[in-house]
Structure 1
């Protein structure tokens, strides 16, 4: 089904039908405003700043991006392209992983995403929530009603079922041993109490929730843009080159210059004496028969 991206504030406003073109208009634009819709009429109404009514395309069980309260809605998601998701598999150091969030507040959409190598899905899910909470704190939204929507039962159960509190009581350890991603759970434990009106909602991943689909596409785009780990990078080399192995040339010390002594120019008297000596020699040779 086609999607329509309406950009109300951006480098170029209007309705677009693919995310890459939409991102080019809103990325880096201060206060960008945009939303995605399944019906073009809803996108047009959004541009006209009219009341947004859910389209008939939204069937029962589907969650539209339009919200009727002053609630801040946050979507988070994490993913990893690794072999650890199969039985007996392990995450490789070169596997790409990423997280993403989408914050909808007062007709403004604020997305965020990042990636790293060698991380699991669970780590990225925690990272997504942590980064979203950090952003909410920086936006001074801690006193607002906030709905967090995610598809990770692992993270939701850790918060809602008290797993995290139990780990904390146990010195941030699980009853079975080491707690993975301990530092992330500890930071969530510091962030969550700053919010007075948080509630959570689970959604099926990669299904019908537009917000969840948005963050899933965003984190996959982040992984697409990550260079392959181990790929040869320009201007970076840790192996010695021939230049590094060559002994440095040592310049010979400069020779000390001796002072140049100029011969004195002959005087008139000297020239006359020389001429007399020559004449005397010639006269003597003449007497000898030469």
Structure 2
């Protein structure tokens, strides 16, 4: 059993790291308007096409000692870090949900969130192709998962409606926050992409966990933003990407959302 567990752990991490390698491609090429399919991975300076061993996630970077084998241009350490983090996330999801359709769904969801977070950090944008496709995939996956679970058609329809409600609620709430925040601050308080990301989160998580995700994102964002202002890293008027905080809130919700809500309702409604 230990051997089987070790083998499964290796396979899951390797799969996650490979997805992380593709996420690196998406994060670099999508904002630049380049194809994410072709050309194959290559050095951005000398345009040398990477070989099979050079393309191995994490290990390829270590083997090359962080430099292009041909022109010796340094390769940013972010690439293997993204691959390793994606592999770790895949492992955490697998350990939490085991061999299940839920695991596959959360792998897809987390991959989308990681790509969006990195793009937001780099460009302060959340590309429509990713948020919109993520929303559609979330709705489709919810239906497919319901059928796999052999739920009655009325239950499938109910789950779909909850996902649609979550998506609509997400874009309404964050559009409202952006509007009133802009009026209060006298400048744009939130980008349009954040509302679209919230709609995607609602499609995947449903309205209840969307609200929890939004609360966690705001709490963490306020804490980190306030700390950065206090330390002089950011000014009060300086913009800060909110997408990574939404993604972090969603990740916490995936693993601990039910427990957090249970504790919350026990504190608020102790008699129930």
Q: Greater share of helix residues, 1 or 2?
A: 2
Smaller-chain TM-score bracket: under 0.3
Of structures 1 and 2, the larger Rg is shown by: 1
TM-score computed with the length of structure 2 as normaliser: 0.23
Q: Greater share of strand residues, 1 or 2?
A: 1
